[in-house]
Chains A and B, each alone.
Chain A
Amino acid sequence: MISSSNSRAHRDAYGSQINRDHLPILVYGIPWLTIILASLVPMVPFIALAPILPPLGYLFLLTWRLVRPGLLPLWAGLPLGAFDDLFSGQPFGSGIFLFSVTLLSIEAIEIRFPWRNFLLDWFTASLALSVYLYACFLFSGAQLTSIQLRLILPQLLLSIVLFPIIARIVALLDRFRLMRIRKVR
């Protein structure tokens, strides 16, 4: 005899599969929202005497792009970079340029290496982060001295080490993003 309804029969990690669907606001909004919030980190009352914090806005953009390819449109660098520029202290345009270049170049890399794993993603992110941090430093209008070049190293190291953690956070947010909340009638 077929057993009567098991409550878990039509469920998966994203919730019930019957009569429920993804919410478009969450599906497309969560990546944008998290990157925007991460770009607002300079307005957190933490007064740093040296560049210490990793560029969280960029880090989240990179992670969303690598964890969920194709979710962010290619042109996302333009608005997100502009928003990041408003608070980061960089001259306006530096974020727009670097965010857009990053998305385009990752797209180009992906066509050549379609089969990737997490380590390769981490390597790509490290490469992108080091280029980004040194380019930011070059664009910032600060004096170019050897102290400055060494000053970025701890920040770079922290950013690279932080990537797997951010990737886990993004994976968590991704599960939240794809929750089946909307009722289908």
Chain B
Amino acid sequence: MAPPTIRRSAFRSGMNKKARFTAFTGYLVASIGVLIGAVLLAVSMWHPSLFSGLRTTASDAVSPASEAGATVREEGSSFFQAISGYYRAGSKNAQLKREMEIARVKLAEADAVKQENIRLKAVLGLKDRDPQPVAIARLIGSTSSSARRFAYISRGRDHGVTAGMPVVAPKGLIGRVLETGRSSSRVMLLTDTESMVPVRRSTDNIVAFAEGRADGSLRIRLINLGINPLKPGDVFVTSGAGGLFPPGVAVAVTTEVTKDGAIANLLANPAATDFVAVEPSWQGNIEAKSKTPEAEKASSSEPEE
């Protein structure tokens, strides 16, 4: 039996006056909707941050549920890891023992390097970067069907997060905060096409810009053009230029060399990251530190790196 609410189209032949009027109003309101949409779209393309209040309120409203989802995902994955850990336990044990021995040697070497590092830094008068994170947040979502690459994190204005702060995962830079709500914020990921980070090669001072390509990789554009010195496998870290990102945070590793730079893959894959740290903007950091004379010396010697 046919369900009762079927109606093929808004207009049919043999409609009475009232039905015709209702259909006409429908068309009218829909056309007005198109117009409103077009106007709003033009306005928000011209001024992208205009509706951020609306957006952040909405993401605040659903972020608790989202955060719960993130917790479940994490626990779920650790549950499966625990089960898969029982397979091949013996061979894994032997392998871990071998790795442990190598790691002990490496640790001793690293200690030596650390000592030397401290000594050299003391000679130069440099201070260690002490990233006191503003907040530790969960990644709770991303715009997975849009051409723009945004992610949502579970901390906002109430936790001290402001727009422009860098977002860092244990393995490296993820992006920067774009909009903040009360308890959630929107992060522009490094792979967004509008994202641009000043970087340098970790081994020397070759400076470049890392631009997002929206397909999960970054484009490294060298600032000094000439013979391209890059090789696959080169690691890039933030240079600290521009004052937004703190220097020395790992960003990407080169996979393919192009004419004017390289294509690089992210080191910190947001898809594999549960927790991220929101760090204060580097510029603000310097201003706060410059009150003490030794920190001022440190910050003034930073750009020469």
Contact = CB atoms under 8 A, between A and B. Distances in A.
Nearest to B265: A49
Contact of B143 (A45, A89, A97, A99): A89
B44 to A, nearest CB: 4
A140 B66 contact: no
A88 B58 CA distance: 11
A43 B62 contact: yes
Contact of B5 (A27, A87, A137): A27
A86 B194 CA distance: 20
Contact of A86 (B48, B55, B213): B55
Given A49-B266, A69-B9, A92-B55, A139 B273 contact: no
Nearest to A45: B70
B47 to A, nearest CB: 9
Contacts of A136: 146-147
B27 A74 contact: yes
B8 A151 contact: no
A147 B215 contact: yes
B113 interface: no
A76 to B, nearest CB: 8
Interface string B11-48: 10000000000000011011111101111111111001
A104 B269 CA distance: 41
B65 interface: yes
A111 B295 CA distance: 74
Interface in A143-161: 143, 145, 147-148, 151-152, 155
A14 B1 CA distance: 10
A49 B59 contact: no
B279 interface: no
B145 A41 contact: yes
B58 A86 contact: yes
A16 to B, nearest CB: 13
Interface stretch (B91-99, B134-142, B232-240, B241-249): B134-142
A96 B63 contact: no
B152 to A, nearest CB: 6
Contact of B140 (A43, A75, A86, A89): A43
Contact of A44 (B48, B69, B148): B69
Contact of A141 (B6, B63, B148): B148
A94 B5 CA distance: 30
A75 B7 contact: no
Contacts of B73: 45
A169 to B, nearest CB: 17
Interface string A148-185: 10011001000000000000000000100010000000
B262 to A, nearest CB: 15
Interface string A99-112: 11101100100110
Contact of B36 (A42, A45, A74, A96): A96
Contact of A70 (B6, B33, B51, B213): B6
A78 B36 contact: yes
B30 A148 contact: no
Interface in A47-85: 47-56, 68-71, 73-75, 77-78, 81
A29 interface: no
A53 to B, nearest CB: 4
Specify which of B41, B145, B150, B194 lies most central, judged by the most chain A CB atoms within 10 Å of its CB.
B145
Interface in A15-50: 22, 27, 40-50
Interface of B: 1, 3-11, 26-27, 29-34, 36-45, 48, 50-51, 54-55, 58-59, 62-63, 65-66, 69-70, 73, 138-152, 189, 191-194, 213-216, 266, 269-271, 273
30 contacts: A27-B5, A45-B66, A45-B140, A46-B144, A47-B139, A47-B141, A47-B142, A48-B271, A49-B270, A51-B145, A70-B8, A73-B26, A75-B29, A78-B37, A86-B55, A87-B141, A91-B44, A91-B51, A93-B37, A93-B43, A93-B44, A96-B37, A100-B30, A114-B8, A141-B148, A142-B193, A147-B214, A148-B193, A174-B3, A178-B5
Given A81-B33, A97-B34, 8 more contacts: A77-B34, A87-B141, A88-B146, A93-B41, A100-B37, A103-B30, A107-B9, A141-B194
What 8 pairs across the A-B complex have the smallest Cβ distances? Answer: A93-B40, A89-B143, A97-B37, A70-B7, A96-B37, A93-B41, A49-B216, A78-B33
